[in-house]
Structure 1
Amino acid sequence: MAPPTAPAGTLAQPETLRRNSDLDSAVAEARARYTNRRPASAALHQKALEVLPGGNTRSVLSYGPFPTAMERGEDCRVWDLDGQEYLDLCGEYTAGLFGHSEPRIHDALHAVLRRGTNLAAVGAGEERLARLLCGRFPSLQQVRFTNSGTEANLMALTVARAFTGRGTTLVFRGGYHGGVLTFPLTGSSMATLPLPFVLADYNDSEDAAAVARAHAGDLAAIIVEPMQGSGGCIPATPEFLASLRALADETGALLIFDEVMTSRMSAGGMQARLGITPELTTLGKYIAGGMSFGAFGGRADIMALLAEKLPHAGTFNNNVLSMAAGGVAMGEIFTADVAEALYQRGEKLRGRLNAVGTAAGLPLCFTGIGSMMTVHFRQPAPRRGYAATPGEEALRELFFLDMLEAGIYLARRGMVALSLPVGEAEMDRFVDTVTEFAESRRPLLLAGGVAG
């Protein structure tokens, strides 16, 4: 006789407990293998703990048992301190678009270094790069430079508040606009600046409209990522972005597209691909060829504030290294044809990866746009951020460790950002490795994943 079915709400049955235990054991075994193969990284981490809080100076690179320390890179490959080689699919979180050894960028940097680095003056490089960007992005009539996407977003919000004479900004749960502008699903972050923000759900036009209208009298800006990058590579639907465009027109707020990551999706970013033009756009990451960089810009009448009454300082805003590398990167290398080819390669790769989970009937999928994607251990694919279950968190760590074991380096959170040197052979290798993961970890995926 079959055992009676447990009533709803009772403790997990032995089979479920066993599977959960198997998942925990698999993660523990993967951690042990990881540790044994990286004694040099472990030793460096112990030394770094003495002088750096957490042993690092960039939170996204902090993970247990200790982060792998890289020593050098070439094209789309990196080597760690212990001499192990990896296919680099992290792509410096989209900033590494050109790989590690693009000779035209290296030549530009070497040439400008010979002429001097800190000149305390304007130069031809900044005008050239500004003209290139204004010629590519539909919303950019004028642009100013910063040193990071975080700074770019801070200045864009400052400009919006000054231009409108209002104070409140509509943001979206799961959004990330920089180290001091992060909006987790669970609420505010202690690192976020104490500015007046109101939150709505991503990809929910009705919720956004309700929140915006409730604060319309003081709404200065609506800032949105056309795809939430650190939030899991969750794309905004075109309908959602179009509704925000209409909502900004209705309320008099300025629409800001944070295209720090998504600007790579075409020569003119997602705004050009979708035909939706914001008042202001923020940029960063790859545009200066791997150098420190950010930018914000938009309509000339809005940006005129910076020439008239709104100061914008920054010692390194027009540093000669970023200006020179950016001119080559955007003027010679990342042409419209190259951008489109990269976008199509990424679309094809994501389709192949999703076919792995679908064919196997597993809670395994990849969301994203073009050359950016993130793995999720649930089906169907999410349309907005979500609170991951303990099983999903364990699978995410196992996936990361298994990929490293196979010689593939990606973001700890499971994000992939293709660089230009990544070709068909490298993408085939990644698909084969994910297929092997799905086959070898099938029972654990079924135990820890979420099926809709």
Structure 2
Amino acid sequence: MTTSILPETQVHARSDAATVGEALAAAAAAFAARNPQSAQHYERATEVMPGGNTRSVLFYEPFPLAMAKGEGCRLWDADGHEYLDFIAEFSAGIYGHSHPQIRAAIDAALDDGLNLSGHNLLESRLAKAVCERFASLETVRFTNSGTEANLMMLATAKAFTRRSKVIVFVGGYHGGVLTFGRGANVVNVPHPFLYAEYNDLDSVRRLLDENANEVAAILVEPMQGASGCIVGEPAFLQGLRELSSAHGALLMFDEVMTSRLAPGGLQAELGITPDLTSLGKYIGGGMSFGAFGGRAEIMALFDPRRSGALQHAGTFNNNVMTMAAGWTGLTQIFTPEAARALTARGDALREALNSRFAASNVAMRFIGIGSLMNVQITGRPVRSVRDIDAGMNEFKDLLFFHLIEQGIYIARRGYVVLSLPVGDAEMARLEAALASFIERYAHLLPRDDNSDR
């Protein structure tokens, strides 16, 4: 495989298009011409998978890249192109693709057998590390994904409160069957959900008043990740804590993504203690993993020593690979000090990228916290998904194809994630690629109408 980012034989998109639509069409055509092996792989996949896909977020037109190899913070596709990985498995891959300590932990676990058909020596060790890291988790249970953790957390809240309704937020994402965008999702599980507006405490208050003694829980992300890294305002999140307590509902924080942003998750940084928390992604060492936990009296519903205990099955809830990799990652690699350093690096990168936009009077900004950020096509504050104009997504697409051409891999929706192997040189490469994007498409990019205010 070649290590060249931009071989001389590569096809480049034109930069003299008259409209963003023309520029995007040219960029997509150049992308297709540079990646014939990925195109062939996709065509074969369509014969046996609907749309050639088994994970919706990975699809994009004209076809998705087929990745063949990963090492550190680098990826290689089927055509041999090398990329800096700035998506990091949508935040799950915090350790990169080949961390030696993670690999050693998995190898050691496998030496003693893959599936042990019972309790093993590793699960309580990881549970202890998780509870020590996240103070609101007095006890915890493991699952195989963040989606599963959120499903179990919802069931727990309904059983504990003996109420049925759940307040969620427009733009929220808690897994493939718990997606609350701007419209209904027919795949969602059929809980009776009440939709509130993110960063709008009055909308929550109205729902609680209108559904007195019926709301089991409020489910919220401290930062809405999938909707574009929309940051929850501290007063809003603290208000949720107060309202839920006043109305006898549980406050549930989905920190599947945001738990990486501070040693004890965003909840610790904010000084807010939820009743239940869901975790996932990196805490399993990059393996399939989820967890939910919180107040001991709530989690005691699952104590099998109790009559009528809630059931929670899952063959791989305590699989030895995840238990070993998770403990090693959380205690030996992604220490509290490492968490703080990664967040600081992400904040610095976001400021550097936004300085490039501001200097060129371009109405684009990266929003988010620390190592999680998303570009938005606006110069105005983004407080909810309703502040995002989906009609401007062509500019995100254009940025995606430009960065791919420059050997940098992000999510097409403009989502950027840092992993631990990403260093100063890699961040400088991203900043330089963004600068070249601004220069290349300066005549097409939206101007910042707030720049002189």
TM-score by length of 1: 0.93
- 1:264 aligned partner: 260
Query: Among residues 214, 218, 221, which one is paired with 1:222 in the alignment?
Result: 218
Contact 1:229 1:261 (8 Å CA) reproduced = yes
Contact 1:378 1:450 (8 Å CA) reproduced = no
- Render the CA deviation track for 1:370-429: whole Å, top value 9, x for unaligned: 100000111113111137546511111111101100000011111011000000111111
- Render the CA deviation track for 1:32-72: whole Å, top value 9, x for unaligned: 11001111110011010011011010000011000001000
Partners of 1:125 and 1:402 in 2: CA distance: 45
Contact 1:41 1:69 (8 Å CA) reproduced = yes
- 2:69 aligned partner: 72
Amino acid at match of 1:269: G
Tell me, what secondary structure is at the counterpart of 2:184?
A: coil
Tell me, what secondary structure is at the counterpart of 1:290?
A: coil
Contact 2:376 2:388 (8 Å CA) reproduced = no
Amino acid at match of 1:50: E
Which runs of structure 2 are paired with 1:391-406 in the superposition (5 Å)? 391-406=391-406
Partners of 1:411 and 1:115 in 2: CA distance: 38
Partners of 2:64 and 2:82 in 1: CA distance: 15
Partners of 1:441 and 1:380 in 2: CA distance: 21
Which runs of structure 2 are paired with 1:81-96 in the superposition (5 Å)? 81-96=78-93
Query: Among residues 28, 31, 49, which one is paired with 2:28 in the alignment?
Result: 31
- 2:140 aligned partner: 143
Partners of 2:404 and 2:326 in 1: CA distance: 32
Which runs of structure 2 are paired with 1:339-354 in the superposition (5 Å)? 339-354=339-354
Contact 1:365 1:381 (8 Å CA) reproduced = no
- Render the CA deviation track for 1:55-97: whole Å, top value 9, x for unaligned: 0100000110000010001100000000000000001000000
Amino acid at match of 1:159: T
Q: 1:450 Cα deviation (Å)?
A: 8.3
Q: 1:439 Cα deviation (Å)?
A: 1.9
Question: Structure 1 residue 331 and structure 2 residue 331: aligned?
Answer: yes
Amino acid at match of 2:186: M
TM-score by length of 2: 0.93
Q: 1:318 Cα deviation (Å)?
A: 0.4
- 2:154 aligned partner: 157
- 1:48 aligned partner: 45
Contact 2:17 2:23 (8 Å CA) reproduced = no
Note the aligned Cα RMSD (angstroms): 1.5
How many aligned residue pairs are there? 432
- 2:274 aligned partner: 278
Partners of 1:451 and 1:177 in 2: CA distance: 34
Query: Among residues 226, 248, 251, which one is paired with 1:252 in the alignment?
Result: 248
Whichever structure has more helix as a proportion of its residues is: 1
Contact 2:131 2:137 (8 Å CA) reproduced = yes
Contact 1:34 1:405 (8 Å CA) reproduced = yes
Contact 1:98 1:289 (8 Å CA) reproduced = yes
List structure 1 segments (4+ residues) > 4 angstroms apart after TM superposition.
387-391, 449-452
Q: 1:258 Cα deviation (Å)?
A: 0.1
Unaligned regions of 5+ residues in structure 1, if any? 1-18
Amino acid at match of 2:415: M
Amino acid at match of 1:153: N
Query: Among residues 265, 271, 296, which one is paired with 1:300 in the alignment?
Result: 296
Contact 1:366 1:381 (8 Å CA) reproduced = no
Q: 1:446 Cα deviation (Å)?
A: 2.2
- Render the CA deviation track for 1:1-33: whole Å, top value 9, x for unaligned: xxxxxxxxxxxxxxxxxx996211100100011
Which runs of structure 2 are paired with 1:147-186 in the superposition (5 Å)? 147-185=144-182
Contact 1:221 1:255 (8 Å CA) reproduced = yes
Amino acid at match of 1:49: T
Partners of 1:299 and 1:329 in 2: CA distance: 25
Q: 1:432 Cα deviation (Å)?
A: 1.2
Q: 1:188 Cα deviation (Å)?
A: 1.6
Amino acid at match of 1:89: F
Contact 1:245 1:278 (8 Å CA) reproduced = yes
Partners of 2:250 and 2:184 in 1: CA distance: 23
- 1:111 aligned partner: 108
Partners of 1:450 and 1:207 in 2: CA distance: 30
Amino acid at match of 2:394: A
Question: Structure 1 residue 130 and structure 2 residue 127: aligned?
Answer: yes
Contact 2:251 2:275 (8 Å CA) reproduced = yes
Q: Which sits farther off after the overlay, 424-433 or 210-219?
A: 210-219
Which runs of structure 2 are paired with 1:283-432 in the superposition (5 Å)? 283-307=279-303, 308=306, 309-386=309-386, 389=389, 391-432=391-432
- Render the CA deviation track for 1:247-285: whole Å, top value 9, x for unaligned: 111111000000000000111100111110100000000
In structure 2, the CA distance between the partners of 1:321 and 1:335, relative to structure 1 (3 Å rule), is same
- 1:208 aligned partner: 204
- 2:11 aligned partner: none
Amino acid at match of 1:176: Y
Contact 1:74 1:99 (8 Å CA) reproduced = yes
Partners of 1:391 and 1:119 in 2: CA distance: 52
Contact 1:377 1:450 (8 Å CA) reproduced = no
Contact 2:173 2:227 (8 Å CA) reproduced = yes
Amino acid at match of 2:232: A
Partners of 1:230 and 1:77 in 2: CA distance: 23
